[in-house]
């Protein structure tokens, strides 16, 4: 982690982090431009490179910072919860908390996991693998709900994933995104799904 960067006021840190997360999340590593990042952050390119040296340095910092931040939020919110729908509710609560501070962080990490640039992906492997392993650990041992006869659990998983992704994408494309409204919407849909599939 870049100690000099953390000496900046927290508002300035967050402004730079959010600008970079947005550009990388929307464009991927190859097509993300530092010109766009400094424009979004309203800073000079010299200042950006003063703290991160290069585009690669900034990207690797963001991966490590995001992994630490996300996992802290998820672990705190989820705790030892293992009931299927309660787990999903707490997971979404954690995402809401992240969205309030870093709207593009979760999208950035998803993009980083599937990054096509082999070189940059390899340099971020340790943090990405830690993220994946920790999330898998949180999900292990989940107690599945008592579902109706003839309902496939994989279909339920896909329904939840596609619903949440669709709602989140719509939210992020909005001119006035509202994380709390998104969380409420997701909760409403999860209730509908639960009522449809549970015996």
pLDDT per residue as tens digits for the range 99-146? 999 999 999 999 999 988 888 888 999 999 999 999 999 999 899 888
What is the b/e burial string over 122-151, where b = at least 16 CB atoms within 10 angstroms of the residue's CB? Answer: eebeebbeebeeebeebeeeeeebebeeee
Predicted pLDDT of residue 89: 93
Across the range 165-170, mean pLDDT stands at 89
pLDDT per residue as tens digits for the range 50-71? 999 999 999 999 999 999 999 9
The candidate with the shortest Cα–Cα distance to 89, out of 147, 148, 142, is 142
Q: Is the pLDDT of residue 175 over 80?
A: no
Q: How far apart are CA 152 and CA 14, in angstroms?
A: 43
Cβ proximity of 77 and 97 under 8 Å: yes
Domains of the chain are 5-143 (1.10.357.10)
């Amino acid at each position: 982690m870049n100690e000099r960067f953390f000496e900046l006021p927290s508002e300035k840190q967050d402004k730079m982090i959010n600008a970079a997360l947005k550009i990388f999340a929307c464009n991927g590593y190859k097509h993300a431009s530092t010109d766009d990042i400094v424009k979004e952050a309203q800073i000079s390119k010299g200042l950006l490179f003063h703290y991160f040296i290069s585009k690669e340095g900034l990207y690797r910092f963001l991966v490590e910072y995001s992994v630490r931040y996300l996992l802290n939020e998820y672990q705190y919110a989820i705790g030892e919860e293992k009931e299927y729908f309660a787990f999903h509710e707490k997971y979404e609560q954690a995402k809401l908390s992240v969205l309030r501070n870093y709207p593009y962080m979760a999208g950035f990490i998803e993009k980083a996991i599937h990054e096509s640039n082999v070189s940059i992906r390899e340099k971020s492997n340790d943090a990405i693998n830690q993220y994946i392993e920790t999330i898998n650990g949180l999900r292990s041992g989940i107690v599945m709900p008592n579902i109706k006869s003839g309902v496939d659990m994989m279909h339920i998983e896909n329904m939840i994933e596609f619903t949440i992704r669709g709602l989140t994408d719509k939210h992020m494309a909005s001119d006035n995104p509202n994380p709390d409204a998104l969380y409420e919407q997701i909760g409403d849909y999860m209730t509908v799904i639960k009522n449809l599939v549970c015996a």
